[in-house]
Amino acid sequence: MIDIELVVNGRSQRVHAHPLARLLDVLREQLGLCGTKEGCGEGECGACSVLIDDVLVNACLVPVGQCEGSRVDTIEGIGADPRVAALQRAFVDVGGAQCGICTPGMIVAASALVRTRPRATPAEIRTALAGNLCRCTGYVRIVDAVAQACGAGESEGGA
């Protein structure tokens, strides 16, 4: 067990954990940040997506020992950025969230796009979200929500 210092959602945190403990478990169990979900535990579904120093990762694959001194941003914190808050609103308005279990990861993954690629095309959005599985929506409204938040206003169709 070691002490690890990291900045989670803008706040300095010190956690005491095995260096190989999954970042996912440390976030959920030690820091009480349960918005990051576990869907598969092997980096396939993206429900545990978080940002480490602005890089999108699956928290189930990251040993917490690697996070020493890093910034970790989760669904609980990223809405502080108005562009991400707009993305979250778009998900509600357009119908991008159904059961909601993939939604935090989906929004974390899309937040990177919203921040860095305004006017992303639907094809770019689909590629950017290909690491996040959703079983409810068929992705149509997720893509629309991200497009809306990117300011593209471009829709692929739908009702």
Partner 1 sequence: MQDGFVGRSVPRREGHDKVTGATAYVDDLSLPGMWHGVTVRSPVARARLLGVELGEGVPWHEFAIVGPDDLPGPNVVKLIDTDQPLLAADEIRHCDEPVLLLAHPDRAMAERGRAAVRLRLEPLPAVTSLDDALRGDVVVWGRDNVFREYRTAKGDVDAALADPDVVVVEGVYETGAQEQMYIEPQGMIAQFDAERGVTVRGSLQCPYYVHAALVALFQLPPQQVRVIQTATGGGFGGKEEYPSVIAAHAAVLARKAGHPVKLIYDRVEDVRATTKRHPSRTHHRTAVRRDGTLVAMDIDFIIDGGAYLTLSPVVLSRGAIHSAGPYRCEHVRIRARAIATSHPPHGAFRGFGAPQSVFALERHLDVIAARLGLDPAALRRKNLLQPGEQTAVGQVVREPIALDRVLDRALALSHWHERRAAHEAFNRSTDGPLRRGIGVATFMHGAGFTGAGEVHLASVAQVQAERDGTLTVLAASTEIGQGTNTVFAQIVADAAGLPLSRVRVGQPDTAVVPDSGPTVASRTTMVVGTLLRRATASLRQTLRDAGLLPAGTGPVDPEVFTQAVARYLADHEQLRGEARYEPPPGIAWDEKAFRGDAYASYAWAAYVADVTVDLRTAEVRVDDFVAVQEVGRVVNPVLAAGQIEGGVAQAIGWALFEQVVYRDGRVANPQMTNYIIPTAVDTPPIRVEFMPPFLGDDAPSKGIGELPMDGPAPAILAAVQHATGAVPTAIPMLPEQLAQVLQEAQS
What is the rounded distance in angstroms from the CA atom of residue 107 to the CA atom of residue 128?
11
Nearest residue (CB) to partner 1, 69 versus 153: 153
- By CB under 8 A, residue 79 contacts partner 1: yes
Task: Spell out the SS3 assignment of 93-118.
Answer: HHCCCCCCCCHHHHHHHHHHHHHHCC
* 26 three-state secondary structure: helix
# residues near partner 1 by CB under 8 A: 58
- By CB under 8 A, residue 55 contacts partner 1: no
Tell me the window of 51-59, 64-72, 75-83, 112-120 that interacts with partner 1 (CB under 8 A): 75-83
- By CB under 8 A, residue 148 contacts partner 1: no
What is the rounded distance in angstroms from the CA atom of residue 3 to the CA atom of residue 64?
10
84-123 positions binding partner 1, by CB under 8 A: 88-89, 91-104, 107, 122
Of 129, 130, 36, nearest to 87 by C-alpha is 129
- By CB under 8 A, residue 158 contacts partner 1: yes
What is the rounded distance in angstroms from the CA atom of residue 62 to the CA atom of residue 134?
22
19-38 positions binding partner 1, by CB under 8 A: 28, 33-38
Instruction: Name the site residues for partner 1 (rule: CB under 8 A).
Output: 28, 33-42, 44-45, 47, 74-76, 79, 88-89, 91-104, 107, 122, 125-127, 129-143, 156-159
